[in-house]
Structure 1
Amino acid sequence: MSRAALRNVHIYDSRNSEYLGGVRQNGSITQRNFYDMLRILLVVSPPNQDIEVHPRGAETVIPADTAPLPPGHYDISCPQGSFSMTDESLVRRVHSRSSASRNTSFRDAVRARDGLCVLSGTPNGNAIINDWSAFEAAHVFPLERASLWTQCGFSRLVTQTPNTNSMNSVQNGLLLTSSIHCLFDNFLVSVNPYDGYKIITFGDDNFGLDGRTLHQNCRNTTNSENVVDELLFWHYRQCVLANMRGAGEPTFEWDFPPGTDMMKEIREGPAPTERLEIEISSRLQTHV
């Protein structure tokens, strides 16, 4: 099913009425946020030219302010230039539960720093008996994309580096409940570190996360183990690409009960070749 089915905001090219994409507004996306999202989604030429957002069929320009973006249909224009849809590839990922749980130093460091789900604020009352069964240490940047991690130079941003793999630094981790971890890995919820660490839900807001603020436990300015802002924004950028462009990216199936022909489901699902490659890479990274 296309992610477009979740949208209540739709955008069009004012020049030819081509459908460009859209987003789900659960209440937290301001008009300024929307313009910033469009700057991720669209390539403007010349780069310093402004884009404008108009209610469909109207000349009124929506201001880039802190007012909530009303659901609806909008035309996009660039009066002093032109724009096109970015061809930047989405960095697809697989659910990281199994790989995270196998790296005990990463898991333990994230638990010790956060102590609760940093998106929902849900505390772990069972931590006193060392029961974390409903909580998981999630990687912000996926382990299976090690070559891209190196290419982007993200290791230089991490100061708390384990002996084995900088991607397993606590600064690349968040403690999440199991359900929210799935949404995070599927690019359906994210944090904008450059807008007060606001949480935005890109699908239906089933868990009441939209508009909340990332918990301070993982971003305390005096803590050298803070999650890295640039990694959070990288994840946020992927969410914009996955959910707003065209029909949106397909979602992967995570649940393979015993006896399921996993390979068959992957081959018959979306992006089968890439999915298989990152599944293999994910499993290899658990041994690094």
Structure 2
Amino acid sequence: MSPSLVCKGLRALARDVFIYDLQDFDTLLGGLVLAAGVTNTNFYTMVNIIINVLPPGPFFLQNDNGTTVVRDTQPLLPGRYFIVADGTIQVVLTRTMSIQSGTQTGSFRNQVRERDGRCVAVHIFPLAYEHQWLHGGWSQRITIPAQRGGSINSVQNGLLLRNDIHQLFDLYHFSINPDPDNEGIAGTSLDDPQRPLDVLLQWHFRQDVLTNMRGAGEPHFEHDFPPGSDIMGDIRDGPNAAERMEFELFGRLAHHMDINSEEKQDEEDEQGGNVSDKG
């Protein structure tokens, strides 16, 4: 994908569901690309994420015919939907977080692989957002400490995904909503104490909704650069260049940081063992 196509609003091009305030038909508040399995109840949950009603109060949705959309398990239909509320409707403004990188550890990768099998270990709450992880109190949710590194490297903040799916997860092209009210299609109940925490999956789901549904959607970033391409140049010419550059550099260097950290720790462990033997 060329940089000229990586533009604000690209996520909205394929939308077939559109959201408006009943009092303002001209301003698009958001929308989504309708996928199989999305119900009316799911839609209410997602709309509640992207808007604020001031003063706080309930809202409901109407379709183009003026019929109230019931919160039920019926499949959501394509079309325009209108938010009805007594207060003023505002779109949530912020999602993007400044990047302050944490340090990835091999023990995180190994623990997730031991729990789930093969493929690539991915942080649910991105490692690059460790500053927000700490200041937002997310570390207090962890009950299984990380073997090395900070609490963000706990196995409870990890999933094992195929490499290409890992990239889609990082870009919020899909997410996992652990809400027990969702209609299940297939799957297994997880009772392993090391399983990913629901609150972290809910956080990622919220970021996914804000990224894709709010307004025209956030910029779509290229991630599958062909061999020989000018990766840094494409990023500089694209949207949110500074943030994207920092995130990309961290992601590509994390593996090398991981290896160096593990080798250094192994050397220290060996030296410590030698000292104790002499004693």
Question: Does the TM-score normalized on the shorter chain lie above 0.5?
Answer: yes
Q: How many residues were matched structurally?
A: 245
Query: CA 1:35/1:9 → structure 2, altered by over 3 Å: closer, same or farther?
Result: same
Aligned partner of 2:143 among 159, 166, 172: 159
Establish whether residue 105 from structure 1 lines up as the match of residue 74 from structure 2.
Answer: no
Higher mean Cα deviation, 188-197 or 166-175? 188-197
Once the two structures are superposed, residues 225-246 of structure 1 have per-residue CA deviations (whole angstroms, 9 ceiling, x without a partner) of 1211111011000010011011
Q: Which has the greater radius of gyration? A: 2
- How many angstroms apart in 2 are the aligned matches of 1:227 and 1:253? 28
Match of 1:87 in 2: 93
Unaligned ranges ≥5, structure 2: 262-279
CA distance in 1, matches of 2:198, 2:211: 20
Preserved contact between residue 90 and residue 238 of structure 1 (Cα < 8 Å): no
Q: CA deviation at 1:181?
A: 1.1
Q: Aligned pair in 2 of structure 1 residues 29, 197: CA closer, same or farther (>3 Å)?
A: closer
* Superimposed CA distance per residue, residues 163-200 of structure 1 (whole angstroms, 9 cap, x where no aligned partner): 322111111111111221111111011111123577xx
In structure 1, the residue matched to 2:222 is 253
Using the size of structure 2 for normalisation, the TM-score is 0.80
**How far off is 1:269 after superposition?**
1.1
Matched, 1:170 2:155: yes
Match of 1:263 among 196, 215, 232: 232
How many percent of aligned residue pairs carry the same amino acid?
40
TM-score (norm. length: structure 1): 0.77
Residue 227 in structure 1 maps to residue 180 in structure 2: no
Distance verdict in 2 for CA 1:92–1:193, change over 3 Å:
farther
Contact residue 197 and residue 214 of structure 1 kept, 8 A:
no
Q: Which moved more, 1:154-163 or 1:36-45?
A: 154-163
Query: What letter is aligned with 1:252?
Result: F
- Asked if the contact 1:91/1:238 (under 8 Å) is kept, the reply is no
Contact 2:98–2:129 at 8 Å: present in 1 too? no
Q: Which runs of 5+ in 1 are unaligned?
A: 94-98, 116-131, 199-210
| Preserved CA contact (<8 Å) 1:90 1:241 | no
Asked if 2 retains the 8 angstrom alpha-carbon contact of 1:266 and 1:275, the reply is: yes
Amino acid at match of 2:91: M
CA-based RMSD of the aligned residues comes to 2.5
Cα deviation digits, residues 10-60 of structure 1 (max 9, x gap)? 11121121111101121211111111111110011222x22121112x321
Give the corresponding residue for 1:69: 76
Partner residue, 2:123: 139
For 1:188 and 1:13, the matched residues in 2 are separated by 26
1:190 pairs with 2:192: no
Q: Cα gap change, 1:185/1:284 in structure 2, threshold over 3 Å: closer, same or farther?
A: closer
Kindly indicate which of the two structures has a greater share of residues assigned to helix: 2
The structure-2 alpha-carbon separation of the partners of 1:214 and 1:270, relative to structure 1 and needing over 3 Å to count, comes to: farther
Counterpart CA distance in 2 for 1:214 and 1:46 is 40
2:8 is aligned with 1:8 = no
